[in-house]
Amino acid sequence: MASATNAGQFGLDIKNFIEKAKAAPNDVVRKITTDMLTNIVLRTPVGNPDLWAINRTAVAYNAAVADWNSSLRDDPANTDKRGRLKPGRKLNDGMDVIAPEGYVGGRLRANWFVSIGVQNRATTTAVDKAGDATINRGAATINSSDATQGVYITNSLPYAVPIEYGHSHLQAPAGMVRVTVAEVQTFVQKAVAELPK
């Protein structure tokens, strides 16, 4: 169901799931696809400079400084009547976490596109840290179409495939799409159960 092409295209074909729920295929496929889209988008890691290898030393050092200052508060001789550290006791030091100027994570999340019948190979420079705009855009496509014609959820950014296969080992060690596809039976059962009786 999930595939990666030579161009780094990553796609998911939902059409084959229609056979799982014949009662109201459009409604069922729309529900399944929307649930899968939501899971894929929310599982997509958002760049966090604190997790980058280049910043490990800075993050560890800053945490050690915070721990030291916290430990100073355990000794009443270091605090004033309000519980704040007395002047000169607090260690005021830290290392900068490095990120490109103006960097905002969320571009990978914003690049999930939903299309009907054919894969959408578009990309965008937009960012969507929360994922809401991407999910809403995709859900609108799903809900305004004949979902039985084949629904594709794709991300054409060149780094989507490496992220899927473990590059983001801290935030998405098992990927985004593979984990969601493994849960497809749960989505099908949920969608069928929600059909009017």
pLDDT of residue 2: 46
Tally of domains in the chain = 2
Q: Are residues 64 and 9 in the same domain?
A: no
Among 87, 103, 119, which residue terminates a domain? Answer: 103
Among 58, 84, 103, which residue terminates a domain? Answer: 103
Q: Are residues 94 and 171 in the same domain?
A: no
pLDDT in tens, 36-55: 999 999 999 887 766 666 76
Q: Is the dihedral of CA 97, 101, 106, 107 positive or negative?
A: negative
Mean pLDDT value across the chain: 80
Check: CB of residue 44 under 8 Å from CB of residue 160. Answer: no
Check: CB of residue 67 under 8 Å from CB of residue 90. Answer: no
Give the range with max mean pLDDT: 24-28, 38-42, 174-178: 38-42
pLDDT in tens, 86-134: 888 888 888 877 766 776 778 899 999 999 989 999 999 999 999 999 9
- The yes-or-no verdict on residue 7 having pLDDT over 80 is no
pTM above 0.85, yes or no: no
Q: Are residues 20 and 75 in the same domain?
A: no
Q: Are residues 158 and 64 in the same domain?
A: no
pLDDT of residue 101: 75
Q: Are residues 187 and 123 in the same domain?
A: yes
Among 57, 86, 103, which residue terminates a domain? Answer: 103
Q: Are residues 69 and 28 in the same domain?
A: no
Structure tokens at 111: 């690049």
Q: Are residues 25 and 99 in the same domain?
A: no
User: With bands split at pLDDT 50, 70 and 90, how would you rate the model's confidence at 72?
Assistant: confident
- The yes-or-no verdict on residue 139 having pLDDT over 50 is yes
Q: Are residues 81 and 37 in the same domain?
A: no
Q: 67: domain range?
A: 49-103
Q: Which long-range contacts does 129-134 make (Cβ < 8 Å, 24+ apart)?
A: 129/46, 129/104, 129/105, 130/106, 131/41, 131/42, 131/44, 131/106, 134/41, 134/109, 134/110
pLDDT of residue 17: 47
Q: Are residues 123 and 187 in the same domain?
A: yes
Nearest-5° angle of CA 110, CA 116, CA 120?
A: 45
Q: Are residues 26 and 75 in the same domain?
A: no
Q: Are residues 126 and 180 in the same domain?
A: yes
Q: Are residues 119 and 169 in the same domain?
A: yes
